[in-house]
Amino acid sequence: GENVEQHPSTLSVQEGDSAVIKCTYSDSASNYFPWYKQELGKRPQLIIDIRSNVGEKKDQRIAVTLNKTAKHFSLHITETQPEDSAVYFCAASNYNQGGKLIFGQGTELSVKP
């Protein structure tokens, strides 16, 4: 079955710097890759997603890149702000086979003012 590895497990940056979180997946049939932000005790919230027919997607300060050949995808946050501090989870899914999300282990991002 699918396995998703996520790195780093913790990331500390200064406000205004960029943050990059990387994930690799094992199943080449996976075709949908969402990123969720989870604040302490709250629900995972979708912040951006990408499908396998696209190499890059951007939404304001957040971007995601996908390399299907290498089976990895990354989240890029520019101009980080303290409110970006949270745990970020990547996930992979094959929406032709039921759509279950397989999550990475999470990255705890801390943005220091």
Partner 1 sequence: EPEVTQTPSHQVTQMGQEVILRCVPISNHLYFYWYRQILGQKVEFLVSFYNNEISEKSEIFDDQFSVERPDGSNFTLKIRSTKLEDSAMYFCASSGQHLNQPQHFGDGTRLSIL
Under a CB-based contact definition with an 8 Å cutoff, are residues 13 and 109 in contact? Answer: yes
Pairwise CA distance, residues 113 & 102, whole Å? 33
Q: Contacting partner 1 (CB under 8 A), which of 43, 60, 69, 70?
A: 43
Asked whether position 100 contacts partner 1 by CB under 8 A, the answer is: yes
Q: Contacting partner 1 (CB under 8 A), which of 84, 85, 86, 106?
A: 106
Asked whether position 28 contacts partner 1 by CB under 8 A, the answer is: no
Phi then psi for 33, rounded to 5 degrees? -135, 95
Under a CB-based contact definition with an 8 Å cutoff, are residues 6 and 90 in contact? Answer: yes
Asked whether position 95 contacts partner 1 by CB under 8 A, the answer is: yes
Asked whether position 40 contacts partner 1 by CB under 8 A, the answer is: no
**In the complex, least distance from residue 98 CB atom to partner 1, rounded to whole angstroms:** 4
Phi then psi for 82, rounded to 5 degrees? -55, -35
Task: Give the binding site for partner 1 (CB under 8 A).
Answer: 32, 34, 36, 42-46, 49, 51, 89, 91, 95-106
